[in-house]
């Protein structure tokens, strides 16, 4: 794709709220910030106010760098007790950015956070700005749902896909193909870590080696996911898939074969990483069975 055409697609999607502009997103909230210590009722209202201003139709799916600039009256900050520390403002703002109506899934996605305040030049004129940057492809169109996988984590998955500045709905076939791939990669990662530990690796080393046979998709612990998202336990979505498969076996058969073949290859790579090299006899049999 020509660079100008790629830019036009990004710009078109960003204008419609379908994607961050090459990973970058900014918004100015004409809302007075509150401290996280303000209490649950006020925080809930503040969160609702933030999400009422959001127009994004996507969520970031991986790590982000986030910057918050809070505009406050300088005299009020320096000469009264009416304002809070910037970190307390940040906590309340981050809470408003999460969830199905937000732009993030969880605080753990924030890899770097910068918070600062500037003079708003007016006691009654307080607001804040948020800037987020991430990898250009680390986003997913709403609505996002979470599916449990063999490694015990829950992975975001949606039925809409970004395409050239627009969006397309996935067929049932493509939807389940994506879940089968996630399931396979999750299973490979889990089994690889077990094998690495058995081979004598420590916990951290096994985690690091497991990245070689892991999906780039990020899974989340159940406790990290906002209750507003639709959640599908593995037994549940598997049952739905098997019911669909009974009438569509011919549509998914080739994909299942490809997934099974990929699993075998990943398992061979896992064995190599664990130091279980194939014997010379095995290699000879593969060359001349």
pLDDT in tens, 50-105: 999 999 999 999 999 999 999 998 988 888 888 888 899 999 999 999 999 999 99
Q: Is the dihedral of CA 235, 239, 240, 244 positive or negative?
A: positive
> Which of 237-267 are b and which e, b meaning 16 or more Cβ less than 10 Å from the residue's Cβ?
beeebeebeeeeeebbeebeeebeeebeebb
Looking at residue 123, its pLDDT comes to: 81
Angle at 83 between CA 77 and CA 84, to 5 degrees: 115
Of 104 and 215, the structure prediction assigns the larger pLDDT to 104
What strand order describes the sheet that includes 230-232?
A: 154-158, 144-148, 230-232
18-32, 112-126, 174-188: range with lowest mean pLDDT = 112-126
Of 163, 183, 270, 284, the C-alpha closest to 235 is 183
Q: Position of tokens 């799916």?
A: 61
pLDDT in tens, 115-171: 999 999 888 889 999 999 999 999 999 999 999 999 999 999 999 999 888 999 999
């Amino acid at each position: 794709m020509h660079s100008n055409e790629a830019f036009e697609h990004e710009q078109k999607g960003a204008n419609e709220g379908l994607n961050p502009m090459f990973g970058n997103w900014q918004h100015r909230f004409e809302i007075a910030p509150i401290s996280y210590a303000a209490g649950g009722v006020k925080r809930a209202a503040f969160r609702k106010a933030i999400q009422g201003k959001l127009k994004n139709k996507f969520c970031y799916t991986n790590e982000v760098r986030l910057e918050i600039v809070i505009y406050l009256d300088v005299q009020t900050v320096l000469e009264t007790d009416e304002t809070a520390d910037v970190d307390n403002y940040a906590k309340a703002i981050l809470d408003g950015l999460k969830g199905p109506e937000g732009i993030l899934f969880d605080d753990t996605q924030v890899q770097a956070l910068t918070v600062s305040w500037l003079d708003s030049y007016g006691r009654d004129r307080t607001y804040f700005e948020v800037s987020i940057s991430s990898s250009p492809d680390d986003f997913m169109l709403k609505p996002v749902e979470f599916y449990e996988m063999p490694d015990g984590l829950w992975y975001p998955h949606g039925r809409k896909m970004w395409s050239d500045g627009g969006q397309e709905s996935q067929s049932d076939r493509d939807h389940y193909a994506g879940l089968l791939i996630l399931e396979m990669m999750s299973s490979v990662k889990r089994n690889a870590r077990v094998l690495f530990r058995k081979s004598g690796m420590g916990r951290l080393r096994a985690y690091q080696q497991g990245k070689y046979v892991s999906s780039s998709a990020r899974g989340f612990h159940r406790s990290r996911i906002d209750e507003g998202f639709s959640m599908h336990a593995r037994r549940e979505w598997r049952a739905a898939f098997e019911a669909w498969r009974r009438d569509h076996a011919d549509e998914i058969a080739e994909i299942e074969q490809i997934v099974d073949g990929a699993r075998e290859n990943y398992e061979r790579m896992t064995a190599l990483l664990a130091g279980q090299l194939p014997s010379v006899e095995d290699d000879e049999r593969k060359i001349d069975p």
